[in-house]
Amino acid sequence: MESIARLRDEIAASGLLTAPQVGDGFVFGTARMAAAGTDVAVNVDPEPDDRPEPDTGVLLAAVDRLLTVTPEQWLRIVDSVAEEIEEAVGDETVHEPTDLRDDLSLTSTVVFHDALLLSFAAPKQFPDSWIRVQLDEQLAIDGVTVDDKDDDTEVVEFGSLDDLLDHLSEDG
């Protein structure tokens, strides 16, 4: 537990995440991802079962690499995701025909030592699913899956980052 608190403290000192906290064995907070034009939930998973002492430098570098993706890199990632899904879906019917590139919106990320996991919503084409994308250390796509949303999960939306932070501080 000491290493997770140290990781949180180093993330807080770096300024990469807003109000980093510890929960369920990882550090989480929010950050602005300029290339995607959105604030995103960022979860940093030190993988304590695999790594008793996480390499905080590697994790901080991975968070920074994600948050400083250029707009060109981001467009390539989104385009690759859309191509993978379009190829897999083929001629199957989607909920609402629209360009998937315009429908994808990044909702959260998980940062591991050697990979990034991005979670996208695509409310027009896949309203009942999450699109999960694994990127390797060079930000190349390592896998794309479409997962059903859990009907038991409550989705809470906030109008701003301040509203989210107020909600989090109310919950203790």
Task: Using 50 as the pLDDT threshold, list the residues of the chain that sit under it.
Answer: 172
Q: In which residue are the tokens 């909600």 written?
A: 167
Residue 35 one-letter amino acid = A
Q: Which residues of 107-141 are buried (b: 16+ CB within 10 A; e: fewer)?
A: ebbbbbbeebbbbbbbebbbeebbbbbbbeeeeeb
Burial (CB < 10 A; 0-12, 13-18, 19+), residue 65, is middle
DSSP, collapsed to helix, strand or coil, labels residue 32 as strand
Residue 146, pLDDT score = 87
Q: Please compute Rg for the chain using Cα positions.
A: 17
- What is the per-residue pLDDT for 155? 53
What is the pLDDT, as a whole number, of residue 149?
82
Q: pLDDT value at position 172?
A: 47
Query: How far is the C-alpha of 60 from the C-alpha of 121, rounded, in Å?
Result: 25
Alpha carbon distance 165, 31 (integer Å): 12
Q: Model pTM?
A: 0.80
- The pLDDT of residue 3: 85
- φ, ψ dihedrals at 150, nearest 5°: -75, 120
* pLDDT, position 95: 57
> Rounded to an integer, what distance in angstroms lies between the CA atom of residue 67 and that of residue 130?
21
